[in-house]
Structure formats: C-alpha cells, structure tokens
Amino acid sequence: MLDLSRDIDSLSNFKRNSVAFIDRLKQTGAPVVLTVHGKAEIVVQDAKSYQRLLEAADYADAVEGIRAGQEDVRMGRTRPMEDVLEELGREYETQG
C-alpha cells in the first residue's frame, strides 16, 4: 500500500540515491511515486512486487470472466456445445 508520507519522492533524489532506493524497494515491497517539478510522473517498484501485481491482475481478470460466464448462464445467453461445434465444423469445412 502506498504511504503518501513516505512513498513519494523526486526523480532527482531517486537518481542521486538510486542504490538506497532500490534497497528500500526490495525491503518494503512498496512502490515509490517519483515526481518531476512536483507532479507525479512515474511509479517504480521492485520486480518481485511487480510480478505479484501482475498475478493479482490476472487472477482478477479470471474471476471476472467466470462471473460473466455465470451471468450468461443465468440469463440464458448460452447455446448447446453440440450446436456450436456443428456450426464451427460447417464454417471451417467451407473454408478448406
């Protein structure tokens, strides 16, 4: 979680103290918002934390896909598999 009192710094300070910042990123796992002229411009984080973030996003996408599929079933927006396979067979048979 981002701590606004600790996790915002200038890009200039990051460049001057990059080794210390990298150590802090690895230890805390917390991202740092870097500013340019006082405006937030970039977020940096360690690779391990970034990978966890990607995995969490993938999981959330999968859960949403399952939820949407369940909603389709509830609302009757489905077709029997046999019908779909038959349609695909006809479609690809005519293309070949």
Give residue 78's pLDDT: 95
Yes or no: say if 4 and 32 are a contact pair by the CB < 8 Å rule: no
Threshold 0.85, pTM exceeds: no
DSSP 8-state code for residue 7: S
Task: Tell me the per-residue pLDDT of 77-95, one tens digit each, with 9 for 90 and over.
Answer: 999 999 999 999 998 987 7
Residue 6 tokens read as 């600790």
Q: What is the CA radius of gyration of the chain?
A: 24
Give residue 96's pLDDT: 60
Residues 6 or more apart whose Cβ sits within 8 Å of residue 17: none
Give residue 2's pLDDT: 77
Give residue 45's pLDDT: 96
